[in-house]
Amino acid sequence: MPTLWEKSTRPLDAIERFTVGHDRELDLYLAPYDVLGSIAHTTMLGAVGLLPAADLDVLLPELRAIYRDAVEGRFVIEEGVEDVHSQVELLLTRRLGEAGKKIHSGRSRNDQVLVDLKLFTRDALRRTADAVMRLFNELQRQSRRHASVLMPGYTHLQVAMPSSFGLWFGAYAESLCDDMLLVEAAYRTANRNPLGSAAGYGSSFPLDRTMTTRLLGFDTPAYNSVYAQMGRGKTERNVAFALASIASTVAKLAYDACLFNSQNFAFIRLPDECTTGSSIMPHKKNPDVFELIRARCNRLQALPQDIMMIMNNLPSGYFRDLQEIKEQFVPAFDALIDCLDMATYIVQRIEVRRDITDEARYDLMFSVEEVNRRVLAGVPFRDAYKQVGLEIEAGTFRPDRHVHHTHEGSIGRPCNDEVDALMHEVYNRIGFDRATEAERKLAEG
């Protein structure tokens, strides 16, 4: 197995399998980013005089060809090759000879995998944020569409006061706004350049880390070389908290939808293609898709804890323990994006009942409206409350189902425009386009 660290002795095959684990499969996710890091590093080596112009002229086109293969799914890590770093260097050496051996100057696999993960993470956060925006926009559309459609609001799972489907859909949209704030913070943590920190202690080569920071579209370097290495695990943990926050919102939405779709509530009807039947009960339409969304999002909420359990008792410096984080972290984005896209699909097609509150069993939820009407007519609140309470006890209360709410965030004024503005302000502030453009320039030359 060719390795970047190979000397005269080789480990036992069983040990090799144990230590490599699933790295080769997971490295296929990282391959395009590994090549982008190599393009930036190689360009910088040429600029500081550590790589002859003749070598640079052949290395960069070949690296860009490997990048295209990685993006288009043609890149493979050959049998017996340890990881993506070894595979890229093997391809360069095979095609270019001695020039291919020179790109590792001033680098360690430690800062290579760090930059790979940072580039992967910020791109995965962009894809996640875009999926959040798709669900957000659909929730807002449904909120506006059903702004005046009343539904019961609950406390303690007891019927409480009038609410509306406009508020219900809109509540989850605004929850995603707060989740996007965590995405922004996670992106800031991820978008700092570790390249040049080498094994965690820098290099005696005159590396230009400001140059690689600019080429890769990072906000700043991770300045301190020791901290750049300490950031592994910490970045993933912070990002995992953002993913867990989104997952929490989506899981709660799924729970509500399953509850409201049940016959005992019958507030909404889910699309038939998102339900399944029973092998014994011909009437069943089970909300399997939302149930699986709920389960998978609940599992994603454990991700920060999984990462903390791996990294919390480690001192400074690199340890192989950190390799284990990738196995939970890298696939988490696709898992969450799948849940977001499925939730968006269902929300687009939910059918809402418009006559729910006409039923007599919801009469008492209008009691507060009656208390407030009497207060506005001049009755002290405590007296109005007692009057309505006695009428309820005597069975003489008769609801007025007209609801007139005007304050910000109420049934009559759900503030969809303000929530739209809040979400777009946060999303635009993240600045995904800057990194995307930097990567495009590196890839195209």
pLDDT tens digit sequence for 255-286: 999 999 999 999 999 999 988 887 898 888 89
pLDDT value of residue 11: 62
pTM over 0.85: yes
What is the CATH classification number for the domain harbouring 312?
Answer: 1.20.200.10
pLDDT value of residue 317: 87
Longest dimension (CA), the chain: 96
- Nearest to residue 115, comparing CAs of 201, 237, 221? 221
Condensed to tens digits (0 to 9), the pLDDT of residues 403-441 reads 999 999 999 999 999 999 999 999 999 999 999 999 999
- Nearest to residue 367, comparing CAs of 158, 205, 194? 158
In which element (H, E) is residue 376 found?
Answer: helix 367-376
Report the SS3 class of residue 117: helix
Asked, for residue 418, whether it belongs to a domain, the answer is: no
Asked, for residue 89, whether it belongs to a domain, the answer is: yes
The single-letter DSSP state of residue 279 is: S
In the chain, the number of structural domains is 3
Residues 36 and 125 in one domain: no
- Nearest to residue 320, comparing CAs of 233, 238, 241, 240? 233
Q: DSSP of 313-356, one letter per residue?
A: T--SS--GGGGGHHHHHHHHHHHHHHHHHHHHHHHHH-EE-S-G
Q: Are 196 and 203 in contact (CB under 8 A)?
A: yes
Axis-axis angle for helices 109-145, 165-190 (nearest 10)? 160
Residues 228 and 133 in one domain: yes
Residues 134 and 96 in one domain: no
pLDDT value of residue 3: 57
Q: Mean pLDDT score of the chain, rounded to an integer?
A: 94
pLDDT classification of 1: cutoffs 50, 70, 90? very low
pLDDT value of residue 16: 64
Mean pLDDT of 111-133: 97
Task: Give the domain range for residue 332.
Answer: 113-197+224-355
Q: Which residue has 């489907």 as its token pair?
A: 165
* Rg of the chain in Å (alpha carbons): 28
- Nearest to residue 194, comparing CAs of 103, 113, 307? 113
Residues 351 and 369 in one domain: no
Strands 158-164 and 192-193: unpaired
Strands (E), 174-242: 192-193, 220-221
Residues 155 and 250 in one domain: yes
